[in-house]
Chains A and B, each alone.
Chain A
Amino acid sequence: GAVVSQHPSRVICKSGTSVKIECRSLDFQATTMFWYRQFPKKSLMLMATSNEGSKATYEQGVEKDKFLINHASLTLSTLTVTSAHPEDSSFYICSARVGGGSYEQYFGPGTRLTVT
């Protein structure tokens, strides 16, 4: 099956700094990528949807200036958490979908962010 990678898998940063998480589709072109946030023992919460070459569409309540999403190519999307605070600590998961109406959606292994 198709593979989605995320880097880094774990990151610890100091409060006030920014951190970038990369999501790559390794063997397919992803016209759409999704970013989710997952709190411990909770479900996945959709943060935003990004289409290649377009601005991301953010879900209600998600600060677009804080969570910057870039989908510059068909194989790479990045999520930058700017001016991170301890409450941003969470598990972030990206997911990529092949275009053309396919149901297939593949998930990355996730990134654990800890803000100290």
Chain B
Amino acid sequence: AQTVTQSQPEMSVQEAETVTLSCTYDTSESDYYLFWYKQPPSRQMILVIRQEAYKQQNATENRFSVNFQKAAKSFSLKISDSQLGDAAMYFCAYRLYSGNTPLVFGKGTRLSVIA
């Protein structure tokens, strides 16, 4: 079974600084998606960024970028120029590329942004 591990229950970052959230996963499959979701205090899940496993290039969305290391099964999220609105729970998630399989979530990392 696929598992997703987030080893940092809590992280904090100074406003305008950069922070990296870690995620590792375990799978025997070769084709899959990886995601980072943000859950602010409103509890609404928001997709931050996704990565297709077959793509070698790391995904980037504005201030958010990932470091995808397929061989190491690592998928970290880097937030640059952190803003107060970035404070939230961040969940790493995995799903198979094919089929109607559900997302598998990590336990989450709570990010605090210090003004």
Contact = CB atoms under 8 A, between A and B. Distances in A.
A95 to B, nearest CB: 8
B19 to A, nearest CB: 20
**Interface size range of chain A in the complex:** 20 to 34
Contacts of A49: 100, 102
B78 interface: no
A32 B41 CA distance: 27
Given A34-B102, A49-B100, A109 B107 contact: no
Most buried by A among B42, B100, B107: B100
A91 to B, nearest CB: 6
A110 B89 CA distance: 15
Main secondary structure of the interface of A (DSSP, over half): strand
A43 B9 CA distance: 11
Interface stretch (B22-30, B43-51, B65-73): B43-51
Most buried by A among B44, B45, B52, B110: B45
B103 A105 contact: yes
B33 interface: yes
Given A91-B43, A103-B33, A107-B44, A43 B107 contact: yes
Interface of A: 31-32, 34, 38, 41-44, 46, 49, 51, 91, 93, 95, 97, 101, 103, 105, 107, 109-110
Interface of B: 33, 42-45, 50, 52, 91, 95, 98, 100, 102-103, 105-108, 110
